[in-house]
Amino acid sequence: MTNTVRDNNHEYDIAVVGGGPVGFWLAAEARLGGARVVLLERRRERVTQSRALTIHGRTLETFGLRGLSSRFLDVGRPMPTWHFAGLDTRLDFSRFDSSYPFTLFIPQSRTEAILEGHALEVGVDVRRGALVTAVEDRGDRVDLTLEDGTAISSRWVVGADGARSIVRRTAGIDFLGLPATDSIAMGDVVLDLPGGAPLGGGENELGGASIIPSGDGIHSRVIVLDTTRRHVPQDEPLTLDELRESLRRTTGSDFGARDASWLTRFTNETRLASSYRVGRILLAGDAAHIHAPMGGQGLNVGVQDAMNLGWKLALVATGRASDDLLDTYESERRPIGERLFANTVAQYQLVSTFTPANAYLRDVVSGLLAVPEANRAMAGEVSGFSVSYPHPLTHDTDAGASAPMSRRIPDLPLTGGASLHGALADGHFVRVTKPGHPHVPMPASLGGAPIVDVQAVRLGPVDQPATASIIVRPDGYSLRGVSEAATADVLRP
């Protein structure tokens, strides 16, 4: 084990490369944990396109842990159910114990504005127009060079700089997976659809299209896989006329498509980084995993990467935990990336094959999703509500304490009318104890981490004498409890 000692000679503790939602959230989390953080974003201005539209329930809950969920709810459009591969059977989120049992449609431009504002509020040094051209791990620090020659030194660097990540390439991390085979047209356009955009579309032997709200109340998001155009290069500009023609070819109508605010192409390329960490360099979001946008999962999984890494990296960078803690980032999050890989490849196969045999397959899968247990399993995976981490975060042993699987903790009621999620707002560990009971000790390896003590009205659906105390991580997952039986009663997805 390597003991970390804070070295104040370095300019920053953490440099985050990339100013999308993942980068801003990661930078804010690390800063909330006391680290000196700089965020380097090559773009001089915020994005204006809608881009990613979907914020799933667990991500909203994550933002709520820091008191930010209302900023998204005020400008987004809730959708009570969601699709899997555009099948008729919808994913039902109402079964989960959460204040956010839905998906929120909100343009990425608004999401980024909210998250950048939050990062600035907590004290992140945000530098726009900062194009990183070189990253070098020196062993005790990482040196970065910008396009204008500026040199920046940091103890740690996180690449949140997208699919073509210079941080990943510089670190020599392989990006393994499946190459692109299809080019898909996408546009945000105004359509003639009575009552607004449906969540649906159409298909025939020449391809298929889906139509969803864009989140701004004006445009609709149109995605078309036209088999006669599936090999068009991704960098060839998409025109409104081409989008209209592909709509007519695959659905029989162009729905009066006009006034495009964004036109682009994407592919079904699917890749996963061979490692999420090499030395002092780590990856998150699209720098670590890319896929066809099936189910609106990419931004959400990236934000959860950031939530998992931010507090850990802050503890290590400020000398309050050993860098062994960072190994748990990959062991916890890369398996989620593997599931994302499989999930999106499977969905793409279901939506991109226009044959009678595939139609039967879609009917069978739709029928399976009608089974409540199967629906809950897939809804939990897509939304993030059911994500858990099977291995203990630490291997410290204390009498009476156990470290079972880390699972998401719902918003437990506390004495005095408060709630658990509110107690997590400062990004500290929270120890929840029933009145009159002893509390579970903090692991020695995390003894330097700040912890807040609160008392619970209850620790589970039904109070049990054995349920005395649990510790909740800054990301809202369980750390340890007083006994295996007690924790099993509390930790319900």
CATH no. for residue 474? 3.40.30.120
Helices (H), 164-287: 166-171, 240-251
Q: Which residues contact 443 (CB under 8 A, 6 or more apart)?
A: 393, 394, 396, 398, 403, 479, 480
Task: Give the residue among 326, 295, 283 at the shortest CA–CA distance from 170.
Answer: 283
Quick check: is 298 in a domain? Answer: yes
Task: Give the residue among 218, 453, 443 at the shortest CA–CA distance from 325.
Answer: 443
Quick check: is 6 in a domain? Answer: no
Domain residue limits at 477: 398-487
Residues 191 and 173 in one domain: no
Residues 171 and 313 in one domain: yes
CA 182 from chain centre, in angstroms, equals: 25
Residue that the structure tokens 């070098």 belong to: 136
Quick check: is 392 in a domain? Answer: no
Residues 143 and 208 in one domain: no
Quick check: is 391 in a domain? Answer: no
Between CA 206 and CA 226 the distance in angstroms is 6
Quick check: is 389 in a domain? Answer: no
Q: What is the pLDDT of residue 401?
A: 60
Residues 64 and 140 in one domain: yes
Between CA 301 and CA 337 the distance in angstroms is 8
| Beta strands 429-433 and 451-455, pairing class | parallel
Quick check: is 493 in a domain? Answer: no
Residues 258 and 321 in one domain: no
Quick check: is 388 in a domain? Answer: no
Residues 210 and 154 in one domain: no
CATH number at 125 reads 3.50.50.60
Quick check: is 479 in a domain? Answer: yes
pLDDT at residue 462 greater than cutoff 70: no
Residues 149 and 197 in one domain: no
- pLDDT-based confidence at residue 464 (cuts at 50, 70, 90): very low
Residues 299 and 164 in one domain: yes
The DSSP symbol for 252 reads S
Residue range 179-221, pLDDT digits in tens: 999 999 999 999 988 665 556 678 889 999 999 887 777 889 9
Residues 350 and 210 in one domain: no
Between CA 188 and CA 261 the distance in angstroms is 6
CATH number at 263 reads 3.30.70.2450
Residues 172 and 313 in one domain: yes
Helix (H) or strand (E) holding 59: helix 57-65
Domain count, the chain: 3
Lowest mean pLDDT among 63-72, 218-227, 455-464: 455-464
Domain boundary among 383, 407, 442: 383
Residues 154 and 115 in one domain: yes
Domain boundary among 250, 267, 284: 267
**Is the separation of the CB atoms in 281 and 159 below 8 Å?**
yes
Share of the chain above pLDDT 70, in %: 90
Mean pLDDT of 341-360: 96
Residues 347 and 373 in one domain: yes
- pLDDT-based confidence at residue 437 (cuts at 50, 70, 90): confident
Q: What is the pLDDT of residue 489?
A: 42
Residue 420: which region, alpha, beta or left (left: phi > 0; alpha: psi -120 to 50)?
A: alpha
Pair of tokens at residue 12: 């920053």
Lowest mean pLDDT among 38-47, 275-284, 305-314, 375-384: 38-47
Q: What is the pLDDT of residue 209?
A: 93
Tell me the β-bridge partners of 278.
Answer: 281
Q: What is the pLDDT of residue 6?
A: 44
Task: Indicate the pTM of the whole model.
Answer: 0.92
Pair of tokens at residue 162: 């997208």
**Is the separation of the CB atoms in 22 and 16 below 8 Å?**
no
Domain boundary among 383, 408, 435: 383
Pair of tokens at residue 232: 């068009």
Residue range 410-429, pLDDT digits in tens: 999 999 999 999 999 999 99
**Is the separation of the CB atoms in 68 and 114 below 8 Å?**
yes
